[in-house]
Amino acid sequence: MPVITIRIGKGRPIEKKRAVAEAVTKAVVETLDVRPEWVTVLIEEYDRENWATGGQLHADTFGPGYGKAGVDEQA
């Protein structure tokens, strides 16, 4: 019974979460040859002020709204 955890920044719409859960489940089913109902996908969301990379909070590095649909993302 595979359990997959996806950690993302808060703010993505539920449609995106549905799509990623479906895509990941499909990939696990095909790769591990298991039934879809055996696959659990957990989506953990984090506020940008609680997530840092390279010693810098994402809230400071990327600004509000980073990663949300329609918001320009920095390279």
Tell me the CB-side half-sphere exposure of residue 36, using CA atoms within 13 A.
7
Catalytic residue among 2, 13, 36, 64: 2
Three-class DSSP category at 27: helix
- C-alpha dist (Å) from residue 63 to 12, 13, 22, 60, 72: 15, 18, 29, 6, 10
Q: Known catalytic residue: 2?
A: yes
Report, as residue numbers or ranges, the catalytic residues.
2
